[in-house]
Amino acid sequence: MDDRTVSRTAWALIIGGLAPIFDSTIVAIALRDLTTDLHAPVDEIQWVTTAYLLALAVAVPLAGWAQARLGGKRLWLLALTVFLAGSVLCACAWDAPSLIAFRVVQGLGGGLMLPLMQSLVVQAAGGRSLGRVVALVSLPVALGPILGPVLGGVILHNLTWPWLFLVNVPLCLAGLAVAARMLPVDPRPGAPGPRGRARLDVTGLLLLAPGLAAVLLGLSNVAKGGGAGRADVLVPAVAGILLLAGFTGYALRRGDRAIVDVRLLAAGSLRSATTMLAFSGAVLYGAMLLLPLFLQEDRGLSVLDAALFLIPQGVGSLVLRTLAGKLTDAIGARWVAAGGFTVVALGTLPFAFADAGTGTLWLATVLFVRGLGLGAVLIPVMTVAYLGLDHDRIPQASMITRIAQQLGGSFGTAIMAVVLSGARNGSNPDGAFRAAFWVATAICVAAIGLSFLLPARPPAPDQPRPEKKEAPAPAH
């Protein structure tokens, strides 16, 4: 496709993708209000976010098969409509169980959309200027965790909690209108090919979806406090790991007929990108737990003020995104990713030394620097994931990378929760946040080293790509 079509595709996906990405973070700060207004205990209300997360995990593995059967445009419109319906239902919820059920509807729509955003635009680009294309279409992914809490705080300060969901309605309607007009029609839904007429891999789905959901449930329970040794953490986590291990063995035998073709990880670029995306998820989402708590508990800010204080981080992320995409296309992913994680580490470390006397302007500046690094991290890693893959394999890679981000983000959040809880119950409770920020910095440093697993330079457009060749199926 020409550059104009690629640009139109990217913007159509951005407009429609804003709602589910912002929604995943915007609701988190409303739990206290929901507890009061719906007359429900905190443990029950926490399922408002947990149910959404688990529904995302269940839906993501279906995206590749559904795209092959329906076509990308039709699946996008369907998923966005499901998310819109779920948002309206959530706003009309009359008690906690109804809200939790309607959040599942939202999550199913959003879970199909998130991997589809990447695969549709990468397929449209056809391997050209992937860095710039990924930088554009992943804009909501970068801004959602940063600006979502800000928008949520503003809404709760001026309106009531149903507006957290009603704000999605104009975004979804605009997204549907733009997508119907601007997204190219997939000419080959259900056509012969590696996956076009494949039946749904029910066995693989029954192994993978519950496995992901169980692991994510166990990790999310860590954040409730009490450490990682509780039964509600270990039982789902261990069960999920066993299911995922079973799926891996099953998928290796089934090959490209599996719901997710794990043999694609034999390609060095996708394997290294998947590892790095797990780390970037830990860096991004782990800080989402730490920074608001630090600003509220250590600095005494209100929920809204803490959310507004994080704006410099979002601005920093915006500033460097376009440059990061161009640099990735020009010099390759390795140095851009290593530089990005280095900047994130430099923007995280000062919080390990912060106390009540640390200046507000200094902390805002550090957050801006941290945002610069975050803006440079995701672009090169996401770009590498698609190197050397043909048109029909791109949705598979998109699902794999999305799963890696989900698991990495949940793992990072769990680590931060365990460190905070352990430090508060230890001999130096006043240093709990400093200990957690030291761990966050260490994760960034580890990611710097792992960045050198990424390709030094992208393959030239006129040269064959080394990952084009499929991994051989194992002998039976």
Give domain limits for the chain. 1-192, 201-258, 267-476
- Condensed to tens digits (0 to 9), the pLDDT of residues 324-360 reads 888 887 888 888 889 999 999 999 999 988 877 788 8
- Condensed to tens digits (0 to 9), the pLDDT of residues 223-249 reads 666 666 788 888 998 999 999 999 999
SS3 content of the chain, % helix, strand, coil (to 5): 80, 0, 20
Q: 100 CB contacts (<8 Å, ≥6 apart)?
A: 44, 47, 48, 51
Ramachandran sector of residue 354 (left: φ over 0; alpha: ψ -120 to 50; beta: rest): beta
Task: Please answer whether residues 57 and 209 qualify as being in contact, where contact means their C-beta atoms are separated by less than 8 angstroms.
Answer: yes
Confidence at residue 127, expressed as pLDDT on a 0 to 100 scale: 64
Calculate the average pLDDT of the chain: 82
pTM listed for this prediction: 0.81
Distances (CA, A) of 415 to 43, 105, 173, 222, 377: 20, 29, 38, 8, 21
Average pLDDT over residues 82-93: 95
Confidence class for position 188, pLDDT limits 50, 70, 90: low
**Most distant CA pair in the chain, distance:** 66
Whose structure tokens read 């939202």? 106
Is there a common fold for 1-192 and 267-476? yes
Confidence class for position 125, pLDDT limits 50, 70, 90: confident
Q: What's the topology of domain 267-476?
A: Growth Hormone; Chain: A; (1.20.1250)
Confidence at residue 151, expressed as pLDDT on a 0 to 100 scale: 83
Q: Quote the CA–CA distance of 80 and 91 in Å, as a whole number.
A: 17
Distances (CA, A) of 352 to 86, 150, 342, 347, 377: 40, 24, 16, 10, 22
Task: Please answer whether residues 295 and 301 qualify as being in contact, where contact means their C-beta atoms are separated by less than 8 angstroms.
Answer: yes
Confidence at residue 347, expressed as pLDDT on a 0 to 100 scale: 92
Long-range CB contact pairs, 155-161, < 8 A, 24+: 155/26, 156/29, 156/30, 156/33, 156/303, 156/304, 157/304, 160/37, 161/30, 161/33, 161/34, 161/37
Q: 359 CB contacts (<8 Å, ≥6 apart)?
A: none
Q: What's the topology of domain 1-192?
A: Growth Hormone; Chain: A; (1.20.1250)
